[in-house]
Amino acid sequence: MADTPLDPESPKQTPRPPGEATASPVALAEALPVEPTGEAALILKVQSGDHLAFAELYSLHKRRIYSLCLRMVGNAAEAEDLTQETFLQLHRKIATFRGDSAFSTWLHRLAINAVLMQLRKRGLSLISMDEAMEPDPDTGSSRSFGAHDPALHGSIDRMALERAVRELPSGYRLVFILHDVEGYEHTEIAAMLDCSTGNCKSQLHKARLRLRDVLRSVPEQEAGR
Amino acid sequence: MTEDPSNLSCHLFQERLPQMIGSGEDLASHPHLLGCPLCRALLADLETIAEAARQLFPVAEPPDDLWLQIESALQKEKTAQERDLESGA
């Protein structure tokens, strides 16, 4: 069997013992390779250069990818550019997709990489752990040690939180979105951002503290109107 | 000599908070929190924010003409590749 030219990654090829081809129709049908269906079939078509299949794949995933980009950059025009870049990357790289992970996960990572590339071009840098608890350069205030401010009392206005997330500095927003919204682990985010997990935890904490500050000031602003 | 966690100052507790939260430690019965309503309120707020984040940002629809832009960019890439092949031949 050593000379059997099977590609272990290929879903179309199933090893079969010699003589199986003369078995009963039922056994033969069971032994036949299973044709990919649904999205797997679509991906194979795209890999063979089918442009219509690529359009269909775009239709299936455009909302998820655009929404992800929009969350991460907080700007519609930029999210459009990044969605375009993600699908261009997909077109260039889909031949390398071997089905080791779910396609949606793979595409999700392409989109995140596109966003990170863009943010790095703009000079995104994560703040180090040492700086994480230093006074806030924007407000001049230090973190809320012992602050007697009103608590959130377990309820948050979703729109206010979304607004506050959009206004976070890009490094904080990125970690917050990846961890709290998208559900990635600190180790995964640290690998994506090329930073330590300690730094990642610190960024997330600072993002949540910043959001807390903003959300607690919302009722005050409303009362002042 | 081991540190008594109930004697932690708010400053020290909050300094260690990112690491403790990030490692998934159960903080509900942390000795400092039992005696400190301020840090308890802070932690409750942070948990509320993390919980609310899961419901954020409903799926958005990209503009209809985005596909046309992608098609156009793909066509440009294809033309450039063909030109490179011709000039290399």
Of B45, B67, B77, the CB nearest to A152: B45
Cβ–Cβ gap A55/B19 under 8 Å: no
Query: How many other CB atoms are there within 10 angstroms of residue A136's CB atom?
Result: 13
Work out how many domains chain B is built from and give that number.
1
Residue A89 pLDDT? 96
Does the residue A194 lie in any domain?
yes
- Tens-digit pLDDT profile for residues A201-222: 999 999 999 999 999 886 656 5
Does the residue B23 lie in any domain?
yes
Residue A18 pLDDT? 39
- Measured CA to CA in angstroms, residue A205 lies from A19, A82, A163, B18, B19 at distances of 63, 27, 18, 5, 9
Averaged pLDDT, A86-98: 94
Residue A140 pLDDT? 39
Shared-domain flag, residues A117 and A180: no
Cβ–Cβ gap B15/A133 under 8 Å: yes
Domain that holds residue A179: 129-139+155-224
**Closest Cα to residue B73, out of A87, A44, A51?**
A87
- Tens-digit pLDDT profile for residues A60-83: 999 999 999 998 888 899 999 999
- Tens-digit pLDDT profile for residues B4-63: 666 788 999 998 998 888 888 888 888 999 889 999 999 999 999 998 988 887 788 999
Does the residue B27 lie in any domain?
yes
- pTM here is 0.69
Does the residue A218 lie in any domain?
yes
What amino acid is encoded at A56 in this protein? E
Does the residue A16 lie in any domain?
no
Shared-domain flag, residues A44 and A114: yes
A156: which chain B residues are within 8 Å (Cβ-Cβ)? 48-49, 52
Averaged pLDDT, A32-38: 66
Does the residue A28 lie in any domain?
no
**Closest Cα to residue B67, out of A67, A57, A116?**
A57
Tokens of A97: 């997709």
Shared-domain flag, residues A72 and A49: yes
Confidence of residue B74 (pLDDT cuts 50, 70, 90): very high
Does the residue A2 lie in any domain?
no
Work out how many domains chain A is built from and give that number.
2
Residue B59 pLDDT? 83
Residue A222 pLDDT? 59
Q: Residue A69: which CATH number?
A: 1.10.1740.10
Domain that holds residue B14: 5-53
**Residue B37 forms contact with A (CB below 8 Å):** no
**Cα dihedral sign, A33-A37-A40-A46:** positive
Shared-domain flag, residues A67 and A112: yes
Q: How many CA atoms lie within 13 A of B50 on its CB side?
A: 17
What amino acid is encoded at B48 in this protein? T
- Tens-digit pLDDT profile for residues A135-191: 444 443 444 444 455 566 667 888 899 899 988 988 899 899 999 998 888 988 888
Shared-domain flag, residues A55 and A135: no
**Residue B52 forms contact with A (CB below 8 Å):** yes
Percent of chain A at pLDDT above 70? 67
Residue A25 pLDDT? 55
Residue A59 pLDDT? 95
